[in-house]
Amino acid sequence: MEFTLKDGTTSFRFPVKPEELTISRSKGYETINMLEYGEFDFAQGEKVKEITFSSFFPKEYDASYCMYEPVPDPRVAMNILNTFLVSKKPLRFIISNTGVNVPVYLISHNTTFRGGESGDIYFDITLRTWRDSKVEKVGAAASASKSGSRTDLKKSSKTYTVKSGDSLSKIAKLELGSSSKWNEIYKLNVKTIGSDPNRIKPGQKLVMP
């Protein structure tokens, strides 16, 4: 079982397998305090997973615990982790022979030097799994997005179908509240009505102001 961090072309294998690894999973929630009723928790989405483990970089190779040889110089290994720490791109964390192969950020890296073990460097690492920030659209918004069309925010024009016995002043009174507004209707429908505003015909569709 090997522990590896990859950053594009850079691949780093940890020389000493951690004794244990912890993966923390939790669900987000929001607490609302309602007067007279107390607190209520409302579940939200799953939080980002945290992966933590500890190990060390040995100065010298020892077959009893080293995964490969030659082992990297501890200072060089620490510099690689520091590069990963400041990287703004997600890394890939892989544990061979397991199902762990996930994109992560290295968010915490603590170093310890112990007396009597000259050259060895101990460390604690915290990784957080990365996921794409895109949010899936649902309902009508998703349908509009897939078709490539945009939502039409313009109001559709109101129309009126002329009936027998109608006049522009009568229509203006019924639809606009004042017969004196007949001229507004006429201006919008000159092409339909013609030069004489008094000669409207049943069945004609007039655009209303």
Q: Which residue has the tokens 């933590």?
A: 52
Position 153 scores a pLDDT of 46
* 45 band by pLDDT with thresholds 50, 70 and 90: low
Position 76 scores a pLDDT of 92
Mean pLDDT, range 14-42, rounded to an integer: 77
d(CA 186, CA 180): 11
Query: Of residues 50 and 141, which shows the higher confidence score?
Result: 50
SS (H, E, C) the chain: CCEEEEECCEEEECCECCCCEEEECCEEEEEEEECCCEEEEEEEEECCCEEEEEEEECCCCCCCCECCCCCCCHHHHHHHHHHHHHCCCCEEEEECCCCCEEEEEEEEEEEECCCCCCCCEEEEEEEEECCCCCCCCCHHHHHHHHHCCCCCCCCCCCEEECCCCCCHHHHHHHHHCCHHHHHHHHHHCHHHHCCCCCCCCCCCEEECC
Q: Which amino acid is at 76?
A: V
Position 177 scores a pLDDT of 87
Mean pLDDT, range 183-200, rounded to an integer: 91
Please check the confidence at residue 1 and state whether its pLDDT lies above 70: yes
Q: Which amino acid is at 165?
A: G
Please check the confidence at residue 66 and state whether its pLDDT lies above 90: yes
Query: Of residues 93 and 142, which shows the higher confidence score?
Result: 93
Contact by Cβ (8 Å): 96, 6? no
Instruction: Kindly report, residue by residue over 94-150, the tens digit of the pLDDT.
Output: 988 887 888 898 888 888 888 777 789 999 999 888 877 665 555 555 555 455 555
Please check the confidence at residue 54 and state whether its pLDDT lies above 70: yes
Q: What angle do CA 129, 29, 137 make, to 5 degrees?
A: 65
Position 204 scores a pLDDT of 92
Please check the confidence at residue 194 and state whether its pLDDT lies above 80: yes
* 11 band by pLDDT with thresholds 50, 70 and 90: confident
Position 28 scores a pLDDT of 64
Position 58 scores a pLDDT of 92
d(CA 122, CA 106): 16
**Neighbouring residues of 133: CB distance < 8 A, sequence distance ≥ 6:** none
Strand order in the sheet with 21-24: 10-13, 3-7, 91-95, 101-112, 121-129, 50-57, 21-24
Position 200 scores a pLDDT of 93
